Structure 1
C-alpha cells in the first residue's frame, strides 16, 4: 500500500554494521501481522535478516475520480489509499473486494573485503495485473548503501559509520562481535531487497 521502494531507508541506515535488530515500520491505521528471521555466524560481522508483513482488508469505499479507495480490516480500522499508476485495472475494483498485501524485506549486511567489486546501487521492478483482471501489483526493489567504519567504541560496543554524503551514524554492534582496530576504514555494505505483492479477491 505504501511506496515500497524507499520507505525503509531510515531503517536501513540504523541497521548498518551488524546492528542487533529493528522491527518493520507499522502500517498506518490497518492491523498487520508479521514474522522475522535472522541468519548470522557468531563472531563474524554481517548477517541476513528477513521480515514479512501481511495485511488483509476489505474495500469499503471507492472514489474513481481521485483514484482512492478505503480499506477496513477485521478490527474495524480504516485507511484511505491512492491507487498508483501501475494499478491500471483500478476501475475493476469494487466495494466488498478483499485486498491482501504482503511485504517481504531481506537485509544483508557485510564488511566488504578489499578489492571486492561494488554493486550497481539500486534496481527495481514494478508489474501490474493483466488488462481486464482484478487489480494487483508486484513490486521489487533493491537498494545498496555503503559506509566506512570511522570510530570504534569498545566501551559502549558501538561503531560510527560515515556514508558517502559525509553524514555519520553511531550504531550498536552485536554482542558476539569483537571490535577490532582492523575494522577501521573498512567498507560496510547494506543491501536491502524489498518485495511487495498486492492481490485483490472477490468476496
Structure 2
C-alpha cells in the first residue's frame, strides 16, 4: 500500500476515534539559541469490545462509554492476534522545529516517510507519518506584528508569528531558516489483563 494511503487510513482512524472520545492532549515548546521546537500530542485509549474477522472490523469503546467501528486494512499485520478486551492506544504527534541558518545555499524542500510496522508474529501496532524539511529565505520582518515572512523553494510565501520578541531581534531580511515539520500516528495494542 502506498504511504499516502496508509497515512490517510491511520489519520482517518485517529480522526474517527477522536470524534467519539475526548483525546488527552499536550503541547510542549522548547527553545535554544537559534532554534525553537513546538510539539503537540493527542492520545486516545479504547478497549476492543467486538471483532468481526471476515470484514476486519474492530469495535472500540472509549472510557466515556462511546463505541465506534474501525475497519483495519490488510496492511496491518497480525490482525488475528487482536482479542476482545485488548486495549488500543492511538497517538498523533506533530512537531515543528525552526532553526536560523546564516549564509546562502539552495532553497530546498525534502520529504521522507516514517513507518514502522509490527513484525510478523509480534503484537499488532506500528507508526506511520512523514517529515518535511524546508529551507527558506526571510523576505520580511514585521516587529510590530511579530511576524516573519518566509519564501520557500517554490516561490510561495508564508507569515509566521514569533512569540518571543528576543528571538525576533535575531532575525533579519536575507537570513535563511530551516523548518522541519513532522507528523506521525502510532497505534499500539496491549492484551487484556489476565491474558
TM-score norm. by structure 2 comes to: 0.72
Higher helix share: 2
Structure 1 residue 56, shift from structure 2 partner? 0.8
Q: Does 1:67 align with 2:71?
A: no
CA contact (8 A) 1:124 1:140 kept: yes
Distance 1:68 1:6, change over 3 A: closer
Structure 1 residue 132, shift from structure 2 partner? 3.0
- State the number of aligned residues: 182
Residues 92-146 of structure 1, C-alpha deviations (whole Å, 9 max, x = no match): 3233321023344443111222157888823334222232333111336422123
Distance 1:148 1:5, change over 3 A: farther
Residues 16-59 of structure 1, C-alpha deviations (whole Å, 9 max, x = no match): xxxxxxxxxx9333321133322214xx5531223333211012
Distance 1:59 1:6, change over 3 A: closer
Residue 35 of structure 1 corresponds to which residue in structure 2? 26
Of the three residues 31, 35, 41, the one matched with 1:52 is 41
Q: Does 1:77 align with 2:66?
A: yes
Structure 1: segments with no counterpart, 5+ residues: 8-25
Structure 1 residue 194, shift from structure 2 partner? 3.9
Residue 95 of structure 1 corresponds to which residue in structure 2? 84
Residues 40-82 of structure 1, C-alpha deviations (whole Å, 9 max, x = no match): 14xx553122333321101234444543433221012334434
Structure 2: segments with no counterpart, 5+ residues: 1-5, 12-16
Structure 1 residue 181, shift from structure 2 partner? 9.8
Give the root-mean-square deviation of aligned CA atoms. 3.4
Higher strand share: 2
Distance 1:45 1:90, change over 3 A: same
State the alpha-carbon separation in 2 of the partners of residues 127 and 152 from structure 1. Answer: 40
Distance 1:119 1:4, change over 3 A: farther
Q: Does 1:3 align with 2:7?
A: yes
TM-score norm. by structure 1 comes to: 0.69
